[in-house]
Amino acid sequence: MLILAYIILALISVYLLIYLYKKNFSVQSQREELKRDWGSAKNSRYIDIDLIENYFLNTITESSEKLQLISDKIADDLYINDVFKLIDRTVSRVGQQFLYARLRTIDKDQTELTKLDQFADALTADERLRLDTQTTLQILEKNDSYYFQDLIYAKKIDIPTFLPVVYILACLNILCLICTIFHPGFLLAFFGIFIINTGLHYWNKNKVSVHTSSLGEFLKAFDTAKKLDADAKISAQFPDAANLIKELTPLKRKMIGVKLDNMAEADTVMIGYMLFELLKIAFNVEFIVFYAIIDSLRAKKVALKKLFKFIGTVDTAVSISSLRHSWEGEYCKPVFNQENCLDIEGIKHPLIVNCVPNDLDLQHKNLLLTGSNMSGKTTFIRSVGVNMILGQTLFTCMAKKFSMPYSKIFSSITISDSLLEEKSYYFEEMRIIKNFIEESVSEEPCFFILDEIFKGTNTIERVSAGKAILSYLAKGNNFVFVSTHDTELNELLKTEYEHYHFSETIAEEELIFDHTIKKGPLKTRNAIRILEINNYPASVIADANATVDLIMKD
């Protein structure tokens, strides 16, 4: 018997040694992989925006604390979801959700922005800190962690009226199990109650599955935050984290049932997991534990929000540091000025490979941009809009220099008819620009981006209405960027707007675009020449040229 005990002890020791070796080897492999992938974008095929944006959607009701939430319309105009996929270098799912919300939220002040920048710089300067932080955040790297935020924002669950019966059944089964020692007949009663408890267990599991999953993710999040706070450099940057962990410790202790479940799944010990599931069914453990802590969860909602924000902020700083590494020599930190000026050097659009950099300096003036299709004018105004958002949310711009007023951002670029809602292009654009007019009189500076204003209506009214709207928006401390084919606006808006253009040349029957912004209005016309290059009938070309001459005479 003693020999058997020694053999079992030896086997356990060997198992533990192998487990510890594999765990240490796994950690080292992870760190090497993190080093290798630093500065690299994720594979966007595995990025689920629908899951990622849930946290942002749930925080919309808290927008009173923010300067602006970037609307779906603006996000579509500026391809924000695609920009997110490019810049996302987070490790955890919590960090990924927080980064997305951050990208679509402009704070009223720059306190959080400064904190993000400072910690991103600390991560850049200290590889040990960065690798330790990333390794810790990997606790929350599985997709289940997307559901941690449900613990904070999910719909309130009502406690079942028959909960006392669940307690009674659990106690009866404990009693039956004890009495089995004295009489085996009690085993039948045990299994009878077990069958009833099985029905209760899976009824409840189905009802609160999202919440029980969230509870397990809370435990991971708690452990993540505790390990992060254990690093002196992180605790110095986030001094409130220690008190937050202390406040949530009693809540963690109440979740022993969930914790054991998590451990079994994490170690993929299916036999152990199944045995624990049977134990939970027999004594209604999950049912009882869940409703015993539900009130505690509600009471700690504010603390849970802070926990999410702490982890999310740390991981977002990791992402910013990695992004800056990949944009080395192509990025800058923005400067926020009070003079209502825009001074940009070497700006690029993050989504365009080999993008041509451009410069722009506007002093108390707005921008009227002319140019033909494909010349680059719409891409340029999108570049400025995207970088203004990146600067005000992540303190990082894809430019050599970016000085701007801290402002709200609005856009009217992509507009489509809605057959289902019976809205025309013109009606939809009118609604959007009406919102611009209302926002233009707010105390905060506004940056308005418009592409081809009122192109859904006739020329005379388009130019007339466009001039009136653009003059109105140019008042106060607002910035207006408008791109247009209507060269008539150059003369009508010569005092309020600086005039720039994009142009192309035709060489050897081919269009050549340099995608470089140039000062002054566009003075050349190539549209009919392009028709000629593309072999339109000679009669069409002659008719078009004759019509141009006639219009110019009038």
pLDDT higher than threshold 90 for residue 13: no
> Which run of H or E residues covers position 479?
strand 479-484
Least confident of 43-52, 68-77, 392-401: 43-52
- Mean pLDDT of the region 435-455: 91
Confidence (pLDDT) at 197? 80
Which of 212-221, 265-274, 370-379, 491-500 is the most confident on average?
A: 491-500
pLDDT higher than threshold 80 for residue 405: yes
> Which run of H or E residues covers position 261?
helix 256-266
pLDDT higher than threshold 50 for residue 286: yes
User: CA–CA separation, 77 vs 385, rounded Å?
Assistant: 9
How many H helices and E strands in the chain? 24, 14
Cα distance from N-terminal residue to C-terminal residue, the chain:
113
pLDDT higher than threshold 90 for residue 21: no
User: CA–CA separation, 249 vs 244, rounded Å?
Assistant: 9
pLDDT higher than threshold 50 for residue 267: no
Given a contact cutoff of 8 angstroms between Cβ atoms, the answer to whether 474 and 364 are in contact is: no
Work out whether the CA dihedral 66, 71, 77, 80 comes out positive or negative. Answer: positive
Confidence (pLDDT) at 4? 52
Q: List strand residue ranges (DSSP E) for 290-445, in order.
A: 335-336, 341-347, 358-363, 366-370, 401-404, 408-412
Between 294 and 273, name the one with better pLDDT. Answer: 294
Confidence (pLDDT) at 179? 85
Average of per-residue pLDDT values in the chain: 85
User: CA–CA separation, 47 vs 51, rounded Å?
Assistant: 9
Q: Where residue 9 falls among pLDDT bands split at 50, 70, 90?
A: low
- Mean pLDDT of the region 519-545: 82
- Mean pLDDT of the region 485-502: 89
SS3 state at 293: helix
Given a contact cutoff of 8 angstroms between Cβ atoms, the answer to whether 99 and 316 are in contact is: yes
- Mean pLDDT of the region 418-438: 76
pLDDT higher than threshold 90 for residue 41: no
- Mean pLDDT of the region 403-407: 95
pLDDT higher than threshold 70 for residue 20: no
pLDDT per position as a tens digit, 121-133: 999 999 999 999 9
| Domain residue spans of the chain | 1-37, 335-523, 527-554
- Mean pLDDT of the region 464-473: 92
- Mean pLDDT of the region 191-199: 82
Confidence (pLDDT) at 5? 52
pLDDT higher than threshold 80 for residue 40: yes
Q: What are phi and psi for residue 48, nearest 5 degrees?
A: -100, 95
pLDDT higher than threshold 70 for residue 210: no
Q: Which fold has domain 335-523?
A: Rossmann fold (3.40.50)
pLDDT higher than threshold 60 for residue 257: no
Which of 168-177, 180-189, 351-360 is the most confident on average?
A: 351-360
Q: How far is CA 38 from CA 18, 167, 228, 323, in A?
A: 30, 52, 20, 9
User: CA–CA separation, 163 vs 159, rounded Å?
Assistant: 7
The percent of residues above 70 in pLDDT, for the chain, comes to: 88
Taking Cα atoms as reference points, which of 311, 302, 122, 351 lies closest to residue 225?
A: 311
Taking Cα atoms as reference points, which of 393, 430, 400, 395 lies closest to residue 415?
A: 430
105, β-bridge pairs: 69
Confidence (pLDDT) at 527? 77
Least confident of 4-13, 122-131, 361-370, 537-546: 4-13
Confidence (pLDDT) at 17? 60
pLDDT per position as a tens digit, 138-150: 999 999 999 999 8
Least confident of 73-87, 220-234, 359-373, 536-550: 536-550
- Mean pLDDT of the region 200-222: 80
Confidence (pLDDT) at 438? 93
Q: How far is CA 120 from CA 316, 388, 522, in A?
A: 8, 19, 43
- Mean pLDDT of the region 442-465: 87
- Mean pLDDT of the region 57-63: 85
Task: Supply 522's token pair.
Answer: 């566009």
Q: What is the DSSP string of 85-120?
A: HHH---SSHHHHHHHHHHHTEEESSSHHHHHHHHHH
Confidence (pLDDT) at 53? 96
pLDDT higher than threshold 80 for residue 394: yes
Contacts of 536 (CB under 8 A, 6+ apart): none
Work out whether the CA dihedral 47, 50, 56, 58 comes out positive or negative. Answer: negative
* CA 166 to chain CA centroid, nearest Å: 42
For 344-377, what is the HEC assignment? EEEECCCCCCCCCCEEEEEECCEEEEECCCCCCH
Exposure class string for 231-267: b at 16+ Cβ within 10 A, else e = beebeebbeebeebbeebeebbeebebbbbbbebbee
Confidence (pLDDT) at 419? 44
